[in-house]
């Protein structure tokens, strides 16, 4: 499973309307397609079958829930390698996945 999770676009109070559901869905899809393009190309070139998922939600929690729903045996994800101090200030999706996942997690720098 090749998965991309997009944070939800925040709702702005006091403004009527806002983007339509279709416009938001298109935005999420386009962003996800762009983010997955390089990995998809590598997997396709190697002949490795994969299912793609573009999801919206809190990133770490959504990754873990998707992995459970798909009965994945392992979560493999890249890290930015910001280091301990940056993680203390900003938090880390990888760290959150490590703490929330019910299956092994492989982190690749």
Q: For 1-26, what is each residue's pLDDT tens digit?
A: 999 999 998 876 655 566 788 999 99
For 55, residues 6+ apart whose C-beta sits below 8 A from its C-beta are: 3, 4, 5, 6, 62, 66
Across the range 68-97, mean pLDDT stands at 79
Over residues 27-78, the pLDDT tens digits come to 999 999 999 999 999 999 999 999 999 999 999 999 999 999 999 999 999 8
**How wide is the angle at C-alpha 76 spanned by C-alphas 74 and 48, nearest 5°?**
90
For residues 74 and 76, what is the distance between their CA atoms, to the nearest angstrom? 6
């Amino acid at each position: 499973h090749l998965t991309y999770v997009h944070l939800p676009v925040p709702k702005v109070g006091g403004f009527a309307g806002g983007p339509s559901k279709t416009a938001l869905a298109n935005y999420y899809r386009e962003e996800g397609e762009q983010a997955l393009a390089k990995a998809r190309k590598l997997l396709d070139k190697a002949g490795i079958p994969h299912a793609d998922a573009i999801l919206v939600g809190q990133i770490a929690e959504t990754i873990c829930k998707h992995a459970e729903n798909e009965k994945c045996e392992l979560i493999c994800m890249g890290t930015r390698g910001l280091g301990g101090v940056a993680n203390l200030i900003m938090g880390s999706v990888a760290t959150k996945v490590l703490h929330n996942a019910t299956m092994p997690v492989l982190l690749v720098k």
